[in-house]
């Protein structure tokens, strides 16, 4: 339950939102040009260019879930609602990118493996990770506003983050049972694919930052509106 003594949360300055949006637009333009001119893989054909969407979405999902855990730990340590709002916002953006990763994967799988879905270790753990953070968001949506819920969600977010290393190293852990190729390393991309891939990662991170700022700003405005409504009710 929020108290009238709680300070009004600060919204994100419009200039910051404009700047992050412009940076995202500029990087997206560069990314589009590089991906369009990137060489076509000889084995997979043009469908291989999904790499420039699929992998960045995975990294951005990791970023969101990792930030959820960090912000949750800071909330537990400092009992500051700003970190709770940041954790919730990061989880929402992380689930968005994880959803895009799961949706883009079958398109690539159909072209390379011949079917839309296989219970490959990484696919399975990615789906598990998606369910873990979807449950996190459902928990918050059903019981929003409680300090107890915020503390429980913080602990849940920290524990949920332990699934990320399992997801990333699933290929190494399961060896020959994995259909996914090995994790990308220096020199593993084909000639001419390095810069498009780097631009894709930059766009993914820029999109994450922009969406996170928008979501944090929305949460702050919502909390400020709640406090204003409470003050009006108290004054009557």
Local confidence pLDDT in tens for the 236 residues of the chain: 444 445 556 788 999 999 999 999 999 999 999 999 999 888 888 888 999 999 999 999 999 999 999 999 999 999 888 899 999 999 999 999 999 999 998 888 888 777 887 777 788 888 999 999 999 999 888 766 678 888 999 999 999 998 888 877 766 666 655 556 555 555 557 778 889 999 999 999 999 999 999 999 998 888 777 777 767 766 66
Kindly report each contact of residues 153-158 with a partner whose C-beta sits within 8 Å and lies 24 or more positions away, as own/partner: 153/72, 153/84, 153/87, 153/88, 154/71, 154/72, 154/73, 154/75, 154/76, 154/84, 154/87, 155/72, 155/76, 156/72, 157/65, 157/68, 157/69, 157/71, 157/72, 157/87, 157/91, 158/69, 158/72, 158/73
Q: Residue 111 phi/psi, 5° resolution?
A: -75, -30
Domain residue limits, the chain: 15-231
pLDDT of residue 97: 97
> What residue has token string 């609602």?
81
pLDDT of residue 235: 67
| Half-sphere exposure for 69 (CA within 13 Å, toward CB) | 14
Question: Is residue 165 within 8 Å of 183, Cβ to Cβ?
Answer: no
Let me know: does 118 contact 87? Beta carbons within 8 Å: no
Q: What's residue 2's pLDDT?
A: 44
Beta-ladder partners of 45? 41
pLDDT at position 3: 45
Give me the half-sphere count of Cα atoms (radius 13 Å) on the Cβ side of residue 141.
9
If 0-12 CB within 10 Å is exposed, 13-18 middle and 19+ buried, where does residue 140 land? buried
Side-chain-side CA neighbours of 103 within 13 Å: the count stands at 8
b/e 199-222 (16+ beta carbons within 10 angstroms → b): bbbbbbbbbbbbbbbbbbbebbee
- Under CATH, which number does the domain 15-231 receive? 1.20.120
């Amino acid at each position: 339950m929020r108290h009238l003594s709680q300070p009004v949360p600060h919204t994100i300055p419009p200039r910051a939102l404009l700047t992050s949006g412009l940076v995202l637009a500029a990087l997206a333009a560069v990314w589009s040009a590089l991906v369009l001119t990137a060489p076509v893989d000889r084995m997979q054909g043009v469908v291989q260019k999904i790499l420039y969407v699929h992998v960045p979405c995975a990294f951005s999902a990791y970023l969101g879930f990792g930030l959820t855990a960090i912000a949750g730990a800071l909330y537990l340590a400092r009992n500051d609602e700003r970190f709770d709002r940041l954790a919730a916002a990061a989880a929402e953006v992380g689930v968005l990118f994880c959803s895009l990763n799961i949706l883009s994967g079958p398109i690539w799988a159909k072209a390379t493996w011949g079917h839309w879905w296989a219970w490959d270790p990484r696919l399975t753990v990615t789906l598990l990770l998606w369910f873990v953070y979807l449950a996190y968001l459902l928990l918050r949506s059903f019981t929003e506003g409680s300090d107890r819920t915020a503390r429980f969600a913080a602990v849940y977010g920290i524990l949920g983050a332990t699934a990320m290393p399992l997801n990333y190293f699933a290929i190494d852990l399961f060896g020959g049972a994995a259909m996914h190729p090995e994790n990308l390393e220096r020199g593993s991309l084909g000639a001419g694919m390095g810069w498009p891939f780097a631009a894709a990662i930059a766009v993914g991170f820029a999109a994450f930052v922009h969406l996170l700022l928008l979501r944090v700003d929305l949460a702050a405005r919502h909390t400020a509106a709640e406090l204003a409504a409470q003050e009006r009710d108290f004054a009557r």
